[in-house]
Structure 1
Amino acid sequence: MELRSVAVLGGGPGGLYVARLLKLRHPHCVVDLYEQSPPGQTFGFGVGLATRTQRNLGAADPASLAEIVERSFRHEMAMEVRGQRAQVPMDNLIAIGRSTLLDVLRRHAEDAGVRLHYGRRAARDALDAELVIAADGVSSATRESAADAFGASVTTHDSLYLWCGTDFALPSAVFLPVETEHGTFVAHAYPYAPDRSTFLIETDEETWRRAGFDQTTAQTPFDQTDEESLAYLGTAFRAELQGHPLIGNRTRWLRFRTIRCERWHHGNVVLLGDAAHTAHYSIGSGTKLAMEDGIALADAVAAAPDLPTALARYETDRRPAVEHLQETARRSMRWWDTFPGRLDLPVDQLLLAYMTRAGKVSVDRFAALAEDVVRRGLSQYAGCDAADVPTEDRDAWILSRPLVRDDRAWPARTVSVEELGRHHEVAVDVDDPWGPEGDALLKQLVTALDDATHSVLLSAEDDLGSTLTMLDLGERLRRESGAVVAARVSERWSEHAAAALASGRVDLVVLTAS
């Protein structure tokens, strides 16, 4: 179809990008973008773009991607725990300052012929446009004004985080926990310019309250920075900061909000990016999702005969990928919520657990990026020399390792039900292993355990999501009860079983035919 007029609400990366794509494909269409803030005023620090995202942006618009890459900062990745550091030699991770990214996208939108209106708030009802794209963010006024029509829901999570930065480039991206008198704070930090790094810090509510940050949050106006928190955290992370201060930009403690909508379009209005959906920052950025939404919307409009068909096709084609990422992000978020409980693991094994936490990366796939890290992590799992870890058939090797626990021994991590010995068996039918249902099931199992039956066999529905949830519950049970935890796992999910064993989520597996 040929569009005549488009109005885009929101001048973030998603709005600017989709405006350019539509103008390039429909040169005679009038494309107006409205942003209430003046140009150059932005909040936030760096934006990371993974390899797959770069490929997607390059296929959609090579010119803008080329400048984004040119103005980005390349970095590697590391994890440091209790003085031990594991480095992953990656050369495909890039980050760019949010303000720099907006400058690039703004210029490319103008070059394409998009009309930009800054310092002006626009409501959808006041716009006379064939298509209205609401790219107005997580607090979208467009979505909230018609929440029932979009079937919108918002889930606010318990843990807290704040975005800040610092005035030097870290040597690499780093995941770094710091244990303080109040509890553990965890930094997700990465460089995005020669003189700038993002420093995202998160913690649990109990630690946050013990540190008095509930009070500093209440005392900090919404448009100001919680300087007291930054001063404390700057001291807590002083070794990694190398004497540099933490920098705020409307920085205050927040709780992540997961946005879901049953429908992404209503009439001629379509939601894009955070306005339609959010996914936890530990698995991917909202910028990535919004710009890839823009690609899908532009493709759907170009291929459809009319607007209703285009908007339906956009949602049908794009929703499965978004919902898959949201589910993966939910698992990743809960892993980070419980991260301090894993600090007893050696750093290489912990990094292996991190990479395989959400079921997207297998042991072998991670080994292709960081073979030395995987080799050391598997040697820590198996209690052997790193030189004895194979470079092929790693999953089979993980499954074949012996286990000795107290006065019991198994020749391999794969066992039959009979070899497991006396045990309790329970079907795992919960959505969140760390939520109330998980609490109840754990309490039930711990109560049932005794010296004679200090083993548990978990089972679940034979699909990947249920299997991953079972393995996550196994980790919680194993850590909180000290029980020997086995899991029934279909052979088709054996790579996930191997990752769970190597990460300390379960002790043993009973493999069943696919």
Structure 2
Amino acid sequence: MRIACVGAGPGGLFLAILARKLPGAPEVTVYEQAAEGAPRGWGVVFWPDLMEQVEAVDPPFAESLREFRYTWHDQVVEVDGSEVRFTASGFAMGRHLMQKLLVDRAREVGVRIEFDRRIERAADLEGYDLVVAADGVRSGLREQAPGIRTVVTEGHNRYIWLGTEKQFSSFTFPFVRSRAGWLWAHAYAFGEAGSTFIVETTEETWRALGLDALGPDETLRLLESTFADQLAGHKLVLQEEARETAPWRRFATVRNSAWTDGTLALVGDAAHTTHFSVGSGTRLALEDAIALARHLERAPSVAAALAGYGAERAEALEVTARQARSSAAWFEAVPQYVERPVRDFARLLMERRRLVARRAPGLYLALHRLTTVPVVGGLINRGLAVSRAVAPRVVGPLRRRFAS
């Protein structure tokens, strides 16, 4: 079997590694349009469950992740200097480092990687038994597949992906009031070298501050001034390839009617995107690779493998995609929530994936207080669980009273 992977991101490279280990050791080639070692942005986050999945299919790469991962502790919500802290932990790693670890592992198992090689036409890959499109949100291969109908929708908010040498050892959400409205960041360290610092705001505030017309240097200076307390004198930095402009974007949500077409399979952002506020992009791309490799190993043919893969992953993504849409919508409605007491606002942010917390914040907060009971030394939160006997008597009146 001959397999081509287009795109050297986590999904494409990990699929290449796992495919190379299949019975018969298929010939696998990865094509990447960028040069080897080219800047890949800032950091990615992942969680313990991903480590377990990687360990099960490729222990050497899992060991590399364990060796070089950065562990952050707690999530912090800060509103105009007032801080609320939640207990949590997770892992992060620089994108450039993760790619290097994957490239080294791919070469170790015999994958051929061609950097500086742009694949623009599906016809350029004739002769391969399987083509894996791991070429991102604007996948060119996907657009040439008649059996895949793609819908890309853009969110309302504006965001810009930045880095800083300031080390945010907790996953931090600072909200700052400007003269034209609120701006906030998603900040987390990915190692001793620094942190990812994504700035987000509404379209209205973005325009009112003149950010739609500012160049890169002016943009960075304005944002450094806005987040001066959080950055503590550290600078913000644009990605290398974006330093001629200030690349503010709207988040693009990709949905496909199918994940496969003929001998083509989509993985990672080519197949799906989930808003950066849920931190699932890398995890989902690696899970795509794991699922596709498993189906290739077990199915009697490539066609059967692709059918099984597409059905499994489309179903598996339903919950995550719904939560990501809810999270993105919550951040688009920040002005509706941010004037609440900081602890209430922070609680809503932490629970933004729950529909009730987003659509009926007053009801959610009332239920949260109702189901939080005092104990010696603190509180126990029983969540939103309300017994069937109690629910009719409690939820109806609360909904009427706290619906907004």
Distance change in 2, residues 1:272/1:62 (3 Å): same
Q: How far is the alpha carbon of 1:323 from its aligned partner?
A: 2.5
Residue in 2 that maps onto 1:235: 225
User: Which of 312, 328, 331 is residue 336 of structure 1 equivalent to?
Assistant: 331
Counterpart contact for 1:166–1:247, Cα < 8 Å: yes
Residue in 2 that maps onto 1:11: 8
Residue in 1 that maps onto 2:144: 145
Q: How far is the alpha carbon of 1:135 from its aligned partner?
A: 0.4
| Aligned residue type for 2:237 | I
> Could you tell me how far apart the structure 1 residues matched to 2:186 and 2:387 are?
29
Does 386-395 or 39-48 show the bigger shift? 386-395
Distance change in 2, residues 1:185/1:345 (3 Å): same
> Could you tell me how far apart the structure 1 residues matched to 2:122 and 2:178 are?
48
- State the SS of the aligned residue for 1:88: strand
> Could you tell me how far apart the structure 1 residues matched to 2:22 and 2:385 are?
51
> Could you tell me how far apart the structure 1 residues matched to 2:252 and 2:197 are?
20
> Could you tell me how far apart the structure 2 residues matched to 1:346 and 1:378 are?
14
- State the SS of the aligned residue for 1:25: coil
| Aligned residue type for 2:222 | Y
Q: How far is the alpha carbon of 1:10 from its aligned partner?
A: 0.5
Distance change in 2, residues 1:361/1:385 (3 Å): closer
**1:335-374 equivalence runs, <5 A:** 335-359=330-354
**1:495-514 equivalence runs, <5 A:** 506=403
Residue in 1 that maps onto 2:380: 391
Distance change in 2, residues 1:285/1:390 (3 Å): closer
Residue in 2 that maps onto 1:322: 317
> Could you tell me how far apart the structure 1 residues matched to 2:237 and 2:226 are?
15
Residue in 2 that maps onto 1:29: 26
Residue in 1 that maps onto 2:167: 169
Structure number, greater radius of gyration: 1
Distance change in 2, residues 1:396/1:285 (3 Å): closer
The answer to whether 1:305 aligns with 2:297 is no
- State the SS of the aligned residue for 1:255: coil
> Could you tell me how far apart the structure 2 residues matched to 1:80 and 1:398 are?
34
Q: How far is the alpha carbon of 1:397 from its aligned partner?
A: 8.7
User: Across the two proteins, how many residue pairs are aligned to each other?
Assistant: 387
Residue in 2 that maps onto 1:476: none
**1:75-104: CA deviations, max 9, x gaps?**
11211122221223334x010000000000
Q: How far is the alpha carbon of 1:125 from its aligned partner?
A: 1.1
Counterpart contact for 2:184–2:199, Cα < 8 Å: yes
Identity of aligned residues (%): 34
> Could you tell me how far apart the structure 2 residues matched to 1:285 and 1:393 are?
26
**1:148-174: CA deviations, max 9, x gaps?**
420111111211101001013123110
**1:10-47: CA deviations, max 9, x gaps?**
11111111000100124531100000111111331000
Q: How far is the alpha carbon of 1:398 from its aligned partner?
A: 12
> Could you tell me how far apart the structure 2 residues matched to 1:234 and 1:178 are?
12
> Could you tell me how far apart the structure 1 residues matched to 2:311 and 2:43 are?
31
User: Which of 54, 58, 79 is residue 55 of structure 2 equivalent to?
Assistant: 58
Q: How far is the alpha carbon of 1:255 from its aligned partner?
A: 0.6
> Could you tell me how far apart the structure 2 residues matched to 1:43 and 1:87 are?
31
The answer to whether 1:201 aligns with 2:199 is yes
- State the SS of the aligned residue for 1:158: coil
> Could you tell me how far apart the structure 2 residues matched to 1:232 and 1:267 are?
50
Does 104-113 or 75-84 show the bigger shift? 75-84
Q: How far is the alpha carbon of 1:242 from its aligned partner?
A: 0.8
Distance change in 2, residues 1:45/1:394 (3 Å): closer
Residue in 2 that maps onto 1:478: none
The answer to whether 1:109 aligns with 2:98 is no
Structure 1: unaligned runs, 5 residues or longer? 221-225, 363-376, 402-411, 421-454, 458-483, 486-505, 508-514
**1:179-194 equivalence runs, <5 A:** 179-194=177-192
**1:463-488: CA deviations, max 9, x gaps?**
xxxxxxxxxxxxxxxxxxxxx34xxx
Counterpart contact for 2:373–2:380, Cα < 8 Å: no
Distance change in 2, residues 1:254/1:392 (3 Å): closer
**1:430-489: CA deviations, max 9, x gaps?**
xxxxxxxxxxxxxxxxxxxxxxxxx985xxxxxxxxxxxxxxxxxxxxxxxxxx34xxxx
Q: How far is the alpha carbon of 1:394 from its aligned partner?
A: 6.0
User: Which of 110, 120, 124 is residue 122 of structure 2 equivalent to?
Assistant: 124
| Aligned residue type for 1:153 | V
Does 279-288 or 387-396 show the bigger shift? 387-396
**1:342-397: CA deviations, max 9, x gaps?**
223333333322222213999xxxxxxxxxxxxxx989957x99769753756579
Residue in 2 that maps onto 1:86: 84
Residue in 1 that maps onto 2:96: 99
Q: How far is the alpha carbon of 1:124 from its aligned partner?
A: 2.4
The answer to whether 1:292 aligns with 2:290 is no
Distance change in 2, residues 1:361/1:90 (3 Å): farther
| Aligned residue type for 1:152 | T
Counterpart contact for 2:7–2:30, Cα < 8 Å: yes
Highest RCO, 1 vs 2 (Cα 8 Å, sep ≥ 6) = 2
Distance change in 2, residues 1:34/1:394 (3 Å): closer
